[in-house]
Amino acid sequence: MKEKRNCLYCSKELQGRADKKYCDLHCKSAHQYKKEKEQPVRFYNKVDNQLKKNRKILKEYNKGGKVTVRAEVLHSLGFNPNFFTHYWKNQKQDVYLFVYEYGFLKRPENGKEKYVLILWQNYMEKRVFTNH
């Protein structure tokens, strides 16, 4: 007598091959998706999500090409300066960190921590450094 086997996703009784685990492609896909969601968040996803958040925040606050914003404002929105894609050093040796096309430089001003925000410019290509 054959052992009854059930679909790993919907628990319906399976028909067919002995090694079959799912009743159809929908159940297979849904089970894989559910399993993936139950896994701890992968490091790649954490980094990617933080880069996206940082870019969105920098884009929102840099409407003029070059602006200064209090650090506490950006941090309160979830900005994390440890996540960036590359950096650029100007002639004064200031190192701007970039999240794609949006750059920032932490600088104290009047006793407060602030960020100078800039946009990537073509002339910066000559002096770019990647975050490796």
pLDDT of residue 72: 97
Global pTM value: 0.67
Residue range 62-84, pLDDT digits in tens: 998 899 999 999 999 999 999 99
Distances from the Cα of 27 to the Cαs of 10, 13, 58, 110, in angstroms?
7, 13, 41, 61
Cross-strand pairs, 70: 114
Residue range 36-66, pLDDT digits in tens: 877 767 788 889 999 999 999 999 999 988 9
Nearest by Cα to 118 from 130, 109, 127, 97: 97
What is the overall mean pLDDT for the chain? 91
Q: Cβ neighbours of residue 4 under 8 Å, at least 6 residues apart?
A: 13
Q: CB–CB of 108/114 below 8 Å?
A: yes
Q: CB–CB of 85/47 below 8 Å?
A: no
d(CA 124, CA 52): 22
Strands 102-109, 95-99: pairing kind = antiparallel
